[in-house]
Structure 1
Amino acid sequence: MSCFQLGDELWFPPVDAAEDCGLLAVGGDLSPERLLLAYSLGIFPWYNPGEAILWWSPDPRCVLFPENLHISRSLKRFIRNTSYRVSFDENFPGVIYWCRRLRAGLDGRGTWITLEMKKAYTRLHELGFAHSVECWDDDQLIGGLYGVCIGRCFFGESMFSRSKNASKVVLIHLMAYLQQKGFELLDCQQTTDHLLSMGAQEVSRQEFQQYLQRANVPPYGPFVSQF
């Protein structure tokens, strides 16, 4: 099956038309309007530098429900004894900078967070749809994550850690915040052993679409962040 070619028109094909690997479409742009439409439909961009924009809707999908977060006893002990400070939306540019830098490699190309992506998500942050969680040791930014929020769903994009357990600490604080605010789920996009160890699970594409509806994520808008 061939993926769909996008042009200037603001649209996406049905997610069920995605290839087995999850690839749905290629092309288009990273305008706020297209990004918000994509997330509302369960689609996200992910591509390498120098490539056309690739749009994905994987099946299965990795998600984390706030009430299912698993925190090991050793991690609980670490959190009790640490001096780390956690903040929200205090340094979005710094978080996306470190997410990009730590994955870029020596040639600067080993990351999907292209300069175009960095600019696009910074714009979503300015519009109130992209958010960051930061972990600090004194005045040093040592960990963080960022993602997009529509309705009561947080679509995680990337996270980083420069010190022991820093990324786990921000994830725990984010999940506590999402549970307090009545969020349905955190979309993790891709499955990793790290996420599974903290309570994440896989759901089918069809189930994910149903969760989006329950999370008040309207396809085609109007879009509101409840973060």
Structure 2
Amino acid sequence: MKTIYTSFDEAVNQIKDGSTIMVGGFGLVGIPENLLLALERSGTKDLTVISNNCGVDDWGLGLLLKNKQIKKMIGSYVGENKEFERQVLSGELEVELTPQGTLAEKIRAGGAGIPAFFTPAGVGTPLAEGKEVREFSGKDYMLEEALKADFSLVRAAVADKAGNLVYNKTARNFNPMIAAAGAVTIAEAESIVETGTIQPDQVHTPGIYVQALIQGDQEKRIERLTTS
């Protein structure tokens, strides 16, 4: 049995100023909307956030950005967020941009207990400055260190009371690897079912990686609506 919260505010209460958090999602798909809203209400500040991108101006991580709660952002994509752009250009926000595949592997390695790895992505560019470069089979690779977090916030379609998670289609995205890379992982799910309800071969994230659960509905906003 995992801790099952009934209040989103209580679920994020253990996240303190200066924490490093990972947040699942890609754009607005698969983001832990309710946990982020609760984190905005908490006012927790000086956060280092590791996520693919920073949402949009008025939703997801964009809410924390607008509220000046994020000190450093580690991600792969700036996206449509104008406040993100403004804070970077004004020097208010520290940003570490990483190729998307490299970011995914840095998070996956952190969850797997692998401290670092070599990748060809970024060799010969400013990204390689100050990093070790080695040759393998006649090709240069640079060293990238793994990423881990104090807290991981993820979103699942279904969770059971043992913490096993199932994601819905593309909402899986970064969530499984982020769930594994947090010292404490909090998962919000659309439904929480009895242990044993989810068939073993349907589990995307094993419960061993999850410390706490909370059930909640989502608005599931569309990042950019295009109509004909």
TM over 0.5: no
Q: TM-score, normalised by structure 2?
A: 0.28
Higher share of residues assigned helix: 1
